[in-house]
C-alpha cells in the first residue's frame, strides 16, 4: 500500500527533480556568469562578502547544534577527535566523517551519547 501511496520510483524521481533541478540550474547559471565577470573588482568583493557571511552562518549553526552535545563527554570526545583529525592531522573529511559517525553510533547504542 505504501508504494501506491508514494508513487514508487516515479514519485521519488519527481520529488528529487522538484527539489534539486531548479537550484542546480540556478547555480549553474550563476557559475557561467561568474566565469565571465570573475576578474571584476566589484564581483570579487561581493563574493568575498558572501563567503564571510556563509562562514558566520556556519559557525553560528555549529555553536547552536553543539550546545546539547557539550553536556556529554562522549560527544565532546567525538568533536575533539574530528577537529584533531581534520584541522591538525589534515586527514580527509571523507575518512573522518564516516569514522566519527560509526563511533557516535556505537556510543549512542551503549547509551553514552
Give 84-103 pLDDT, tens digit per residue: 999 999 999 899 999 999 99
Q: Which is nearest to 113 in space by CA: 72, 56, 52?
A: 72
Q: What is the pLDDT of residue 2?
A: 53
**For residue 60, how many other CB atoms are within 10 A of its CB?**
10
pTM of the model: 0.51
Helices (H) and strands (E) in the chain, counts: 5, 0
Q: Are 113 and 79 in contact (CB under 8 A)?
A: no
- The single residue listed with the C-alpha cell 573522518 is 96
Tens digits of residue pLDDT in 39-96: 899 999 999 999 999 999 999 998 898 888 888 888 889 989 999 999 999 999 899 9
76 with 107: CB under 8 angstroms?
A: no
Amino acid at each position: 500500500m505504501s508504494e501506491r501511496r508514494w508513487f514508487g520510483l516515479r514519485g521519488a524521481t519527481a520529488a528529487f527533480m522538484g527539489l534539486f533541478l531548479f537550484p542546480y540550474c540556478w547555480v549553474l547559471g550563476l557559475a557561467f556568469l561568474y566565469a565571465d565577470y570573475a576578474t571584476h573588482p566589484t564581483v570579487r568583493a561581493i563574493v568575498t562578502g558572501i563567503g564571510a557571511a556563509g562562514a558566520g552562518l556556519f559557525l553560528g549553526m555549529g555553536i547552536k547544534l553543539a550546545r546539547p552535545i557539550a553536556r556529554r563527554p562522549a560527544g565532546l570526545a567525538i568533536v575533539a577527535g574530528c577537529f584533531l583529525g581534520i584541522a591538525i592531522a589534515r586527514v580527509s573529511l571523507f575518512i573522518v566523517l564516516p569514522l566519527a559517525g560509526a563511533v557516535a553510533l556505537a556510543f549512542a547504542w551503549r547509551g553514552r551519547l
